[in-house]
Amino acid sequence: MASSNTPDSPKKPARGSRESRKHTPKANTKGLYQRAFKQAFVKLNPRVMLKNPVMFVVWVGTIVTALLTIDPTLFGSVPGETQRVFNGLVTFILFFTLVFANFAEAVAEGRGKAQADALRSTKADTTARKLLPDGSIQEVSSTSLRRGDQIKVIAGDVIPADGEVIAGVASVDESAITGESAPVLKEPGSDIASSVTGGTRILSDELTLRVMADPGKGFLDRMIALVEGAERSKTPNEIALTVLLAVLTLVFLIVVSTIPPLGNYVKTPVGVVTLISLLVALIPTTIGGLLSAIGIAGMDRVAQFNVIATSGRAVEACGDVNTLILDKTGTITLGNRLAEEFIPVNGHSLEEVASVALAASLFDDTPEGKSIVRLAQNLGAQVNFDRTSATGLDFSAKTRMSGTDLPDGIEVRKGAVDAVKGFVRSRRGNGGPDLDAAYERVSRLGCTPLGVCQGSDTYGIIYLKDVIKPGIRDRFDQLRKMGIRTIMLTGDNRITASVIADESGVDDFIAEATPEDKIEVIRKQQAEGKLVAMTGGCRRDSQGWH
């Protein structure tokens, strides 16, 4: 068994360690509270307070008690120094209640702004090494870079702009963007592994990048715009609760208004300040004061985990999710499937399988394809044909294969084992019993088998290894306790899918799923009255887009 020639990755810091947090943007807590304190007084504007019926009643009561503190004889109240002190104490308590409620809401709103500021801090102007047409390097400001420029970054540098790797292999710390402490290997040739984000940091070696975004149009700029542009409108539940609180407030207002006539009837008059104090104590002041803060805090809470909720409605909907559908590759597993071994079948030698696999993967620029090339070259396989005269065939969802048409008319293919079998049968060959045994062996390890053939002859199996993400089973257990059912969707064969499903702990799985199948599963779950969430990204590997 041979391994690929990938550079050694730096030691991965533990999640939450000082190393993993070193370059993660943090909000300025002191500045957050200072802004919130100022906003707490700005929000005392009656137009703002009127949006919250409960707190508006408290606001009106504060004004009345303040006037009675200044002149205790207003509204026919009994004058006296003791009464003035009592009125002043009630005014202070009501005013503090208003400011505290506004402060809580301002802090919740401020966290979103702080998250945007923290993201913006990673966009600080840096010096970039721009490659000139003559091959020389010129140090320029990162703000002067334009789409198409080429730059060089070395270990320790902050990547100055969104770009694509065109040369070099290096580890990049993307924790400031993704929250993942583990570094990511970047190399040219694939859509995912070759893309880098401005504000991340290169940890080892060096890369040559092509800038892919003009200033102000990068990934971080879009993230900041989403955070700052998140809607602060009320959710349906919040609107319903606000109406309920308003009705309760009106009921208690009517109740309190009946006390003065009763008091006068028994010759025990009740003062205005006492009535206001009673009303504020009866109405749901605490819920009314913190309701908006709770809704906003939900949006900003998820923002701290690098998840952007564009409205409170989205956060509220997450609480009602019944079913969570997940892609396998890159979501449940790490997603960096690499060639681990060649398994010969039908009497072929390991060297023959390596040669055919090399020919079939020569034009495959995905990380899996490159790993197959490296493994084959490690075993001594060489290209014995004119590459410029050969034709590379990309993977397609229809054929589920990729490969090369050689100059002499020979066809070499690799891909899903059943697809390779069909190709071989169309050339009047057969897979042979060894192929099924090798296919099942790899599948039962929870890995992905790819068939390799040349014309009508099947040569062997490529063993692609992937690893389940640490802690994923515990997370699914937590979701299960919350009443959320998990379903894994994958294009892998049923044996591999069942092994991954068992190890990860998902409730159900669907194997050999096409994009159309995934949409159909979602629609079926929704037709059963379930609220469905789906997580997973779009990535390209040797079996296509996932």
The SS3 of residue 180 is coil
Q: Which residue among the candidates 173, 300, 327, 364 is catalytic per the annotation?
A: 327
Distance (Å, whole) CA 505 – CA 509: 10
Instruction: Give me the pLDDT at residue 112, please.
Output: 61
**Rounded to an integer, what distance in angstroms lies between the CA atom of residue 216 and that of residue 124?**
12
Q: How far apart are CA 339 and CA 165, in angstroms?
A: 22
pLDDT at 315: 67
pLDDT of residue 206: 85
Q: For every residue of 67-112, which 3-state class applies, written as one string?
A: HHHHCCCHHHCCCCHHHHHHHHHHHHHHHHHHHHHHHHHHHHHHHH
Q: Would you call 172 exposed, middle or buried from its count of C-beta atoms within 10 A (0-12, 13-18, 19+)?
A: buried
User: What is the strand order of the sheet 206-211 is part of?
Assistant: 137-141, 127-131, 150-154, 206-211, 163-167, 195-196
pLDDT of residue 301: 64
Other CB atoms within a 10 A radius of the CB of residue 57 amount to 22
Chain-centre distance for alpha carbon 143: 27
What is the structure's pLDDT at 525?
A: 83
Residue 327 appears among annotated catalytic residues: yes
Amino acid 229: pLDDT: 54
- Provide the token pair at 202: 């290169």
pLDDT tens sequence across 432-473: 778 888 888 888 888 889 999 998 899 999 998 877 888 888
pTM here is: 0.51
- Residue by residue, pLDDT tens for the chain (546 residues) are 333 333 333 343 433 333 333 344 444 566 777 888 888 888 889 888 888 888 899 999 999 999 888 887 776 655 666 788 888 899 999 999 898 888 877 776 666 666 666 666 655 667 788 888 888 888 888 778 888 888 888 888 888 888 888 888 888 887 766 655 567 777 776 555 677 888 788 887 888 888 887 777 777 676 666 655 555 556 676 778 888 888 988 999 998 889 888 888 888 888 888 899 999 988 888 787 777 666 666 666 666 565 666 555 666 667 778 888 888 877 788 766 788 899 999 889 999 999 999 999 988 877 788 889 999 999 988 888 888 889 998 887 678 889 999 988 899 999 988 889 999 999 888 777 788 888 888 888 888 899 999 988 999 999 988 778 888 888 889 888 888 889 888 877 888 888 888 888 888 888 877 767 777 888 888 888 888 888 765 444 434 334
